[in-house]
Amino acid sequence: MSLVRYAVLGLLARAPQSGYDLVRRSKERVSPLWPINYGQIYPELARLAAEGLIEQQAAERQDYRPEKKVYAVTSAGREALQRWVAAPTPMQVPHDEFMLKVHNLWLVEPQEALGQIRGYQQTLRDWLGDLERFQAMIEQRGDGSHTRNSDPLFATICVLRWGAQRTRAQIAWCEDVIAMLAAEG
C-alpha cells in the first residue's frame, strides 16, 4: 500500500469522517510534517473501499447540499494499519532541494550564500513557531489522556515534538554555516 493509504487509514481509525473532513484533518494532523495532496484523498478512499479496508456509513444530507459520504475503517483496515505500524521502517533519505543548493553554494558569492542561509533559517523559525502553536493547541484540547499511548493525540504530539526538535537542529545548523560564511568575510 502507498503511504497515503496509511495516512487515510490512520485518520479514519481515529473517527469516521467524510472526504471533506479527511482533507481538513490531514491539513491539521498529518500535513504539518507529511503533506498529502488534496487530489490523493478521494481516489484513495475509493481504492480502500474496494479492498474492504474502509466502508461507507450512512450518508448525511444537509438541506441543499449533496449527500455527505462518511467512511469508517473496517476491522481489516485496522489490522492492515496495525501491521504496517509494527513493521520495521527502512531508512529513507529525504529529497531536500535546499540541501542540494547548499551542496553547490561554492558557486555564489559569500554574501549571496549568507542571504540564502539566513532566509532559510527564518523560514525554519516561522515553521517552528507554527509547530509549537499547533502542539500547544492539541495539548490544551485534550483531557490529559494524550499522555498515554492509547490516545491518538499522544501520537500526534510525538510527531509534532519530533518536527520541532528536527527544526531546532536545522536552525542550529544554519547558525554554524552562517558563522563559517561570516568568518570568510
Domain boundary among 66, 86, 106: 86
Examine residue 91 and state whether it is found in any structural domain, yes or no. Answer: no
| Same domain, residue pair 121 and 155 | yes
Whether the pLDDT of residue 1 is over 60: the answer is: no
Model pLDDT for residues 22-65, shown as the tens digit of each residue: 888 887 766 666 777 778 888 999 999 999 999 998 776 667 77
| Same domain, residue pair 75 and 103 | no
pTM of the predicted protein model: 0.74
The whole-number average pLDDT for the span 2-18 is 90
| Same domain, residue pair 59 and 121 | no
Cell of 152: 491518538
Examine residue 163 and state whether it is found in any structural domain, yes or no. Answer: yes
Q: Which domain holds residue 135?
A: 97-184
CA distances from 41 to 11, 47, 159, 171 (A): 11, 10, 21, 33
Residue 99 gets the label, from left (phi > 0), alpha (psi -120 to 50) or beta, of alpha
pLDDT, residue 67, reads 75
